[in-house]
Amino acid sequence: MARVVDVHERPPLKHAVPLGIQHLFAMFGATVLVPFLTGLDPSVALLTSGLGTLLFILITKGQVPAYLGSSFAFIAPITLIAGQYGLEYALGGGVAVGLVYALVALIVRQIGVGWIHRMLPPVVVGPVIIVIGLGLAATGVNMAGLAVGTDPETGAALLPSVTDKAVWTAAVTLAIALIASIKFRGFLASIPILIAIIAGYVFALIIGIVDTQAVAEARWFALPKLMFPKFNLAALSIMVPVSLVTMAEHLGDVMVISRVVGRDFFTKPGLHRTLLGDGLATSLAGLLGGPPNTTYGENVGVMAITRVYSVWVIGLAAVFAVGLAFIEKVGALIRSIPTPVMGGISMMLFGVIAASGLRTLIENQVDLSKTRNLLIASVILVLGVGNATLNLLGNITFSGMALATIVGIVLNLILPEPAADRQKESA
């Protein structure tokens, strides 16, 4: 097993470069997918992802190893606004969302974070982290080619087969990642994800499922197509309410990172700094033509497996992302990585996040034989894993992890502690 590389440690460049590339690969697919779905420029998304991460690191004083990429929560509102008013107005909404984050950060700074620990004890935190990991499980399974499909002509179910090239590619990639994580020693134990992606890519090339035409046609250098925001109240009314959902997700993400790294980032550098960093990164993205940013579970999974928490490595990955925004051919090469390769990796990364939630329950000795604890955990898991959705006031929709977190907090506050438990704790 690789040794722990702490947040402040600066690995030598010969190690930092592959470690940074590993994080780049982990975030790349999801970050460029959002602009593809919304009509924004993928190169600008890479640019604003890297710049936003560097800004986040600066605002959090280099104490939180989080990578920021494109947020999926805003796909629907961006698409809606683009259809009605134009993409520029969706960007204006993104700028406003970031400013809402900044306002909330100011409030949090004034009132402190003691309320967070009261609202988010281990019995809530553990299941929420599990939900974050398992909420991504379906995405990983789909990417690996293991989900049941539908024949577009007959409507019949299409079952994955052991002869499918996608399934074999995902399986080989996962197997190499597992072996590298367990068997490799020294520096190689710190880059099992990178090793598995390269090996999976080579395997996919051999069996003929890699399309390299886009790489051949891409230019070496190209300027990202920046777009600048416009504002109107109608567009803002669609985008801004979503910030309530993403701030709830932010709480969950910071909990996961704190759990994995073994630090309380709510206290130091403080939730107000992580909120401000996330918010200003989102505003910066809107100013340049990129989608709103959020902390990425894929990169948290990489840290959990490799035990490399260095913020220098995260920063280097951000620098690489900025560089890729201008190097079209390299970006095309990474985009040519077959989806099943990343699916094989994702099955491990997302599972590690869920397992971190179990670890939280175990290490904090949460007693699930107590009815109150059992009920809180059960409801959080069902709402989150089931991706329950609730619409409020027309434009505000809470679903999945965000809804599960809010309900868990409410249950923790309103369900009484049994008298016997209170007496035991006071004794």
- For the segment 118-145, what is each residue's pLDDT rounded down to a tens digit? 777 888 878 887 887 787 788 788 888 7
What integer pLDDT is reported at residue 420 of this predicted model? 54
Give yes or no for a contact between 372 and 413, defined as CB atoms under 8 angstroms apart. Answer: no
pLDDT at 425 exceeding the cut of 60? no
71: nearest Cα among 52, 58, 92, 43: 52
Q: How far apart are CA 102 and CA 25, in angstroms?
A: 30
pLDDT at 308 exceeding the cut of 60? yes
Assign residue 66 a region (left: φ > 0; alpha: ψ between -120 and 50; beta: otherwise): beta
Where would I find the beta strands (DSSP E) of 116-192?
A: 149-150, 157-158
Percentage above 90 pLDDT, the chain: 23
Per residue in 66-109, pLDDT (tens digit) is 999 888 778 767 877 888 888 899 999 999 999 999 998 998 89
Q: How far apart are CA 303 and CA 65, in angstroms?
A: 9
* Residues belonging to the chain: 427
What integer pLDDT is reported at residue 101 of this predicted model? 92
pLDDT at 61 exceeding the cut of 90? yes
What integer pLDDT is reported at residue 381 of this predicted model? 92
What integer pLDDT is reported at residue 423 of this predicted model? 47
Mean pLDDT of 251-267: 85
Percentage above 70 pLDDT, the chain: 92
Residue 2: pLDDT band (50, 70, 90) is low
Rg (CA), the chain: 22
Output the six-digit token pair for 18: 């592959």
Q: How far apart are CA 108 and CA 129, in angstroms?
A: 22
If residue 95 lies in a helix (H) or strand (E), which one and from where to where? Answer: helix 87-111
pLDDT at 332 exceeding the cut of 50? yes
Which distant-in-sequence residues (6+ apart) come within 8 Å of 419 by Cβ?
none
Which pTM does this prediction carry? 0.71
> What does the CA dihedral 347, 352, 355, 356 come to, rounded to 10 degrees?
-150
Higher pLDDT, 78 or 419: 78
Give the CA distances from residue 322 to residues 25, 223, 313, 318, in Å, rounded to whole numbers and listed in that order. Answer: 14, 11, 14, 6
Cα angle at 71 between 176 and 113, to 5 degrees? Answer: 100
Q: How far apart are CA 347 and CA 28, in angstroms?
A: 16
With 0-12 CB in 10 A as exposed, 13-18 as middle and 19+ as buried, what is 118? exposed
What integer pLDDT is reported at residue 426 of this predicted model? 43
What integer pLDDT is reported at residue 316 of this predicted model? 94
Sign, CA dihedral 334-339-340-344, equals positive
What integer pLDDT is reported at residue 146 of this predicted model? 81
pLDDT at 416 exceeding the cut of 90? no
Sign, CA dihedral 305-310-313-319, equals positive
Neighbours of 234 (CB within 10 A): 11
